[in-house]
């Protein structure tokens, strides 16, 4: 084992003489150069963690050549030996840096968190929130280095009017950092002490019978997927993604039922929805037969994917209503159809518990202790309620259709 000051001249001489082994610097203890039989050389640091009784460890700084010269390698060795003096193992520190650069890079970590999320609705919300609002800001920043300032930057980038989205993103990030703490990947959440964004005032919009009938009638002139989806939203009160993502195997014409598994619902709870006459008739039209297929999507696009052009479809529907009825409907959303059914049920005197069962809403009468011990599925009551809703809708549609016929206005 040779000793001497490590310089370019000494390295060149050792390489030219085909000398193999280590040259240890006589000025900086632990700093050395390794020369191989092939004539290449690399810079190393040798040290012990815990005194003379500890095992010797060796850390490779890098091969001789840009960026490592005797001068830059000596500076790096000095830094590493300073870490050792502080009780920090350069080998373990390097492993941690590599882990932070890959495993703990926020973008990669967020993907693992999203994959671990349960429930179709929550999983979709997590994936969408991270993709649209968080990843563009935090990118590949190492999770342990993320501070409250970084989190605030995410919300600063979001428009102030997106109050609901801000609350959703806050909930997603809070859960992600808590998950990271529980796994030991960070010691504490950077969101500790942050205030939850103010709650959004609940929408109160619901459609009147005449408005609902106008939507129903003009939906027939819309896209082959969008029109039937809107009509099924009206008659079932289910969520847009649940209807738009329907597969034929989830429908049973003989039993007149729609059965959705937990991974297809927002709250992760399976649900069975009785199909009334209007729903069955609409699905017959989609299937072009009273014998429904047993597989495949109910509303596929030309490529076979799920239908997603809701904004375009809604825009066209609103234009059709304004054009054919001369007067547009005040602003409304597809989700308002769900509230409209709930309001309609209330007007028909249907029990609150039945309304919640139809909507598959876990809250109110179905939450807490009641949700644990009261296991009645309300199936007969749901069928009765949706049958009553069918009759109510049919009358409203007939009345609107009669008013729209010029001959009937005389």
Omega before 215 within 30 of 0, i.e. cis: no
The predicted structure's pLDDT at residue 369: 44
Pair 118, 267: CB distance under 8 Å: no
61 phi, psi to nearest 5 deg: -75, -45
Task: Name the maximum alpha-carbon separation found in the chain.
Answer: 113
Confidence of residue 99 (pLDDT cuts 50, 70, 90): low
Confidence of residue 14 (pLDDT cuts 50, 70, 90): confident
Q: Is the pLDDT of residue 33 over 80?
A: yes
3-class SS at 315? helix
Could you please report the per-residue DSSP string of 200-219? PPPP-----HHHHHHHHHHH
Confidence of residue 122 (pLDDT cuts 50, 70, 90): confident
CA dihedral 308→312→317→320, nearest 10 degrees, is -150
For the chain, give the percent of residues with pLDDT over 90. 67
Average pLDDT over residues 249-277: 93
pTM of the model: 0.61
Please give the structure tokens belonging to residue 402.
Answer: 């009669």
Provide the β-strand partners of residue 2. Answer: 23
The overall average pLDDT reported for the chain is 89
**Residue 10: how many other CB atoms lie within 10 Å:** 16
- Top-confidence residue, 219 or 94: 219
Average pLDDT over residues 47-51: 84
Distance, in Å, from the CA atom of 177 to the CA atom of 130, rounded to the nearest integer, reads 13
- Where does 162-280 show beta strands of DSSP type E? 251-252, 257-260, 271-274
The predicted structure's pLDDT at residue 330: 93
> Computed over its alpha carbons, how large is the radius of gyration of the chain?
33
The predicted structure's pLDDT at residue 181: 95
The tokens 């520190």 sit on which residue? 93
Return the ∠ at Cα 248 (arms to 242 and 250), rounded to 5°. Answer: 55
Q: Is the pLDDT of residue 18 over 80?
A: no
Distance, in Å, from the CA atom of 107 to the CA atom of 96, rounded to the nearest integer, reads 17
Confidence of residue 290 (pLDDT cuts 50, 70, 90): very high
- Top-confidence residue, 161 or 346: 346
pLDDT in tens, 329-357: 999 999 999 999 999 999 999 999 999 99
List the one residue out of 221, 225, 263 whose CA is nearest residue 243: 225
Confidence of residue 112 (pLDDT cuts 50, 70, 90): very high
Confidence of residue 407 (pLDDT cuts 50, 70, 90): very low
The predicted structure's pLDDT at residue 93: 77
Average pLDDT over residues 266-288: 94
């Amino acid at each position: 084992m040779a000793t001497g000051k490590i310089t370019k001249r000494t390295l060149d001489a050792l390489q030219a003489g085909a000398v193999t082994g280590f040259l240890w610097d006589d000025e900086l203890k632990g700093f050395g150069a390794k020369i191989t039989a092939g004539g290449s050389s690399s810079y190393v640091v040798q040290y012990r963690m815990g005194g003379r009784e500890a095992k010797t460890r060796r850390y490779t700084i890098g091969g001789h050549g840009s960026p490592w010269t005797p001068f830059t390698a000596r500076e790096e060795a000095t830094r590493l030996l300073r870490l050792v003096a502080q009780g920090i193992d350069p080998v373990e520190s390097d492993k941690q840096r590599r882990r932070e650069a890959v495993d703990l890079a926020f973008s990669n970590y967020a993907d693992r968190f999203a994959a671990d999320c349960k429930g179709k609705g929550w999983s979709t919300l997590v994936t969408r929130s991270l993709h649209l609002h968080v990843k563009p800001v935090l990118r590949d920043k190492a999770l342990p280095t993320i501070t409250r300032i970084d989190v605030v930057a995410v919300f600063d980038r979001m428009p102030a009017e997106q109050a609901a989205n801000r609350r959703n993103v806050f909930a997603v990030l809070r859960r992600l950092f808590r998950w990271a703490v529980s796994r030991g990947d960070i010691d504490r959440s950077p969101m500790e002490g942050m205030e939850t964004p103010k709650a959004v005032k609940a929408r109160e919009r619901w459609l009147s019978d005449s408005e609902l009938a106008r939507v129903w009638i003009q939906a027939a002139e819309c896209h082959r997927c969008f029109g039937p989806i809107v009509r099924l939203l009206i008659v079932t009160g289910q969520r847009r993604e649940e209807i738009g993502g329907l597969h034929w195997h989830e429908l049973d014409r003989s039993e007149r039922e729609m059965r959705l598994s937990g991974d297809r619902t927002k709250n992760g709870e399976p649900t069975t929805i009785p199909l009334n006459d209007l729903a069955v008739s609409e699905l017959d039209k989609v299937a072009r037969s009273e014998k429904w297929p047993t597989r495949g999507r109910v509303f596929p696009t030309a490529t076979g994917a799920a239908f997603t052009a809701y904004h375009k479809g809604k825009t066209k529907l609103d234009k059709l209503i304004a054009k054919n009825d001369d007067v547009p409907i005040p602003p409304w959303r597809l989700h308002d159809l769900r509230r409209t059914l709930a309001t309609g049920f209330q007007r028909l005197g249907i029990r609150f518990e039945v309304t919640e069962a139809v909507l598959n809403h876990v809250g109110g009468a179905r939450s807490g202790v009641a949700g644990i011990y009261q296991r009645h599925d309300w199936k007969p009551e749901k069928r009765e309620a949706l049958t009553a809703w069918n009759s109510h809708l049919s009358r409203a549609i007939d009345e609107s259709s009669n008013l729209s016929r010029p001959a009937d206005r005389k």
